[in-house]
Amino acid sequence: MCSTQVESAPKTERLFFALWPSDAVRQALRRHCKALLRHSGGRPVAPENWHITLAFLGTVEATQRACAEQVAAGIHLPPFALRLDHVGHWARPQVLWIGASDTPDTLRSLADRLAQGSRDCGLALDKRPFVNHLTLKRKVDRPPAKLDIKPVDWAVTDFVLVRSRTLPEGVQYTVVNRWPLT
């Protein structure tokens, strides 16, 4: 009898930490951004995919994921209020986004701690500083004429770890873990 053992490569996932809007916040965003979304061209991000990235981990092995999850579990920060009141356009990546013109200190701390902790787990994160933003559309080559919207108030009570998969029909995000802010 003969058997062949094939060494399988370690299983990896594409992961990022994010703020994940509740259904109510998603609906408010849809309502308040209706005109903006209608008149700005480009390719809309599906509303169920809307999020604010806190730290993008990239391709991660199981042990690195466990390490990053320990970092997340060790963060003790209070809930905070986020007012999405600012529409922005980045010309180079051609992204239309909405964000909070005032970044709460707690949000900055959360993003910084996740990034630093994940680096300590051996992950190579982007060095660019955190900019709070929720991407509404891609491939928007010029800013829309009218950039003002009615602000959306979001009571942030938790943060999540998301798995990103690229499927033929588009990107699919799955929330794989969640930590409360208390």
User: For binding to ligand ATP (CB under 6 A), which residues are involved?
Assistant: 14, 16, 53, 56, 126, 135, 164, 166, 171
**Nearer residue to ligand ATP within complex by CB, 43 or 146:** 43
- 131-167 as b/e, with b when 16 or more CB fall inside 10 Å? ebbbbbbeebeeebeeeebebbebebeebbbbbbeee
CA distance 162 to 19: 10
**Nearer residue to ligand ATP within complex by CB, 116 or 148:** 116
Tokens of 162: 């998301």
> β-strands 43-44, 52-61: how paired?
unpaired
Q: How far is CA 48 from the centre of its chain?
A: 12
Rounded least distance, CB 140 to ligand ATP, Å: 14
Q: Catalytic site residue 32?
A: no
**Nearer residue to ligand ATP within complex by CB, 64 or 135:** 135
**Nearer residue to ligand ATP within complex by CB, 14 or 113:** 14
Q: What are the angstrom distances between the C-alpha of 106 and each of 16, 49, 54, 119, 131?
A: 19, 24, 12, 20, 14
| Position of minimal CB gap to ligand ATP | 164
Pick the catalytic residue: 51, 76, 86, 89?
51
Rounded least distance, CB 53 to ligand ATP, Å: 4
Rounded least distance, CB 56 to ligand ATP, Å: 3
Q: Catalytic site residue 51?
A: yes
Q: What are the angstrom distances between the C-alpha of 56 and each of 64, 74, 119, 173?
A: 13, 18, 11, 13
- For 96, the 3-state DSSP assignment is strand
Rounded least distance, CB 16 to ligand ATP, Å: 5
Active-site annotation, residues: 51, 133
